[in-house]
Chain A
Amino acid sequence: MNLFKIIEEIEKVDPELQDRINPRRAAIKNITSFGSKVAVAALPFAVATLFKKAYGATATVAVNDVLNFALKLEYLESYFYNQGVAQAGLIPSTDAGYFNTIKIDENEHVAFLKSVLGTAAVAMPNFDLTAKGAFPTVLSNYDTFLAVSNTFEDTGVRAYKGQAPSLLGNQVVLTAALSIHAVEARHASVVRSIRASRGVNIAPWITGSASVYNDTGVAAVNGNYGAGASGYPAENNTVQGGVDITKLPSASGSSTAVNIAVEAFDEPLDMATVLTLVGPFFA
């Protein structure tokens, strides 16, 4: 491929190309292909540098920054499930299959992201699964393990969703991120179902009310994350794209219950807030 040839072609049509677009986000990002690790590892850096001068600090997040952010979360999840599955007596045999599947998925996510990032991949950090003592029984009490698992999966879904806009313009990477996002949501659903089967008042989807932001029962994620500096709404948000969902018709009448409006839409979360949330798990 010849990037400069392509850019020349655009410039023939649009001489002000370089004033108009940031190719890193549109054309050139699309060149990254998972079929070519070299392209992904090398191109974003080279091209970002090349165009940085032309466009200055655009406050956009580089693709590799997003991928490394995802990799950190996947390292944490895979470590958590590898430890949990290996811990004798923690997971009941009836549920072993569930966590073996989740463990395999998370390890695949790590391997996948590492292969995409190549030498740009961050190294696996050290972890403290007790989160500095917040969950002392995380590897000895199944319900604690499930609660932490629940929050990891829900937070993972929020994290990937929050990064999607940063990947717009890159078909391959965005589609892969959305695909991991969906798998994390599948995990979240089943972990929540397992918790429900053990007496926790919880459903496969995140519910809430005007005063309850999140139903995981874990204090750290029950805070009104997103309503503050990050600009993202909390999980009990009921207004989507300017539309108040509670004012829409439902099966039962001309309005929709708050819990339905909350459940029907998951909320994204920004990188900084996610890292703050999971921060205590990093040793």
Chain B
Amino acid sequence: MLRTYLYNKLILNIQLMKTETQASAGSPDMARRSFLRYAGLGAASVGLLAASACHKDHKTTINGGVDIGSGDLGLLNYAYALEQLEAAFYIQVVKTPYSGMSSLELSYMTSIRDHEIAHREFFKAALGANAIKGLTPDFSSVNFSDRASVLGQAKAFEDTGVEAYDGAGYLFQSADYLTLAGKIVSVEARHAALIRDLIAPGSFAGSDVVDSNGLNATLTIAQVLTIANKYLVTKVSASSYNYIAS
């Protein structure tokens, strides 16, 4: 079974390589570079803004929503979608503080809001014309005046964010992008630990998120978007990763 999986993966790699060859007017050099990049050799360290992955149109709307696209740009759009959601959430949290929010909690929420906005704006700037559109959130299930509701939702967003980045890291072709995702995921993990401890002291690395090997849980793109779409009017799909929003 493992062998079948590996074989399929290799064939997929080769298909990707062929696609890119075609996309670059049959230049074998281009194909070679792309494949090297896929292989993680980093032979040609690719600048963030200069990257070109597969050219599937991520802006294609599916069921009135957006598709993240494929390749590294797809993964960056995936992160952009999640950061848009988180930023929108914390903007609302700070705008309408829950009943009994302490000054320390307000300070924490404001910082987290600012971090998430920085993440959102970073992906937007880095993706440029390749960015998916701005997403419209739907937080109707959250009671922003209730501490438990807000913190419970914050915990879900932060834990899911960590599990999303960790689960998708291996899909990156570019080491530079992987490192950028790594720079963000540890900040999300810091947020997650803080929020969890605000809810229940000592739960910063609870057994629901850290297994008996001491590893944080991970989620696939399909699992994450299924969760995220519950809080989005604009549904996000990832057709290249076997997920179409319903």
A residues 245-283 in Cβ contact with B at 8 Å = 245, 248-251, 256-257, 260-261, 263-268
Q: Within residues 10 to 36 of chain B, which ones have a CB less than 8 A from any CB in chain A? A: 10, 13-14, 17, 32, 35-36
Shortest beta-carbon distance, B164 to chain A, in Å?
Answer: 11
Report chain A residues within 8 Å CB of B2.
Answer: 1, 31, 33
Q: B115 near A249 (CB under 8 angstroms)?
A: no
Query: Scoring A residues 184 to 202 as 1 if CB is less than 8 Å from chain B, else 0, what string do you get?
Result: 1111111011000000000
Is B138 an interface residue when CB atoms closer than 8 A count as contact?
no
The CA of A30 and the CA of B2, in the complex, are separated in Å by 10
| Contact (Cβ within 8 A) B170 A189 | no
Chain B positions 120-149 with a Cβ under 8 Å from a chain A Cβ: 121-122, 125-126
- CB of B97 within 8 Å of the partner chain: no
- Convert B149-187 into 0s and 1s, putting 1 for each residue whose CB lies closer than 8 angstroms to a CB of A: 000000000000010011101101001111110111111
Nearest CB of chain A from residue B186's CB, rounded to whole Å: 4
Answer yes or no: B75 CB below 8 A from chain A CBs.
no
CA A264 – CA B186 in complex, angstroms?
A: 9
Among B100-125, those with CB < 8 Å from A are 108, 111, 113-115, 117-119, 121-122, 125
Q: Are B7 and A9 in contact (CB under 8 A)?
A: yes
Flag if B111 contacts A203 (CB, 8 Å): yes
Residue of B nearest to A16 (CB): B32
Partner pick for A267 among B175, B183, B212, CB 8 A cutoff: B183
Q: Give the interface of B toward A (CB within 8 A).
A: 2-3, 6-7, 9-10, 13-14, 17, 32, 35-36, 38-42, 47-49, 91, 94, 108, 111, 113-115, 117-119, 121-122, 125-126, 162, 165-167, 169-170, 172, 175-180, 182-187, 189-194, 197, 201-202, 204-205, 210, 212-218
A interface, CB within 8 angstroms of B: 1-2, 6, 9-10, 13-14, 20-22, 25-27, 30-31, 33, 58, 60, 97-98, 101-102, 104-109, 111-112, 157, 161, 164-165, 168-171, 174-176, 178-190, 192-193, 203-205, 240-243, 245, 248-251, 256-257, 260-261, 263-268
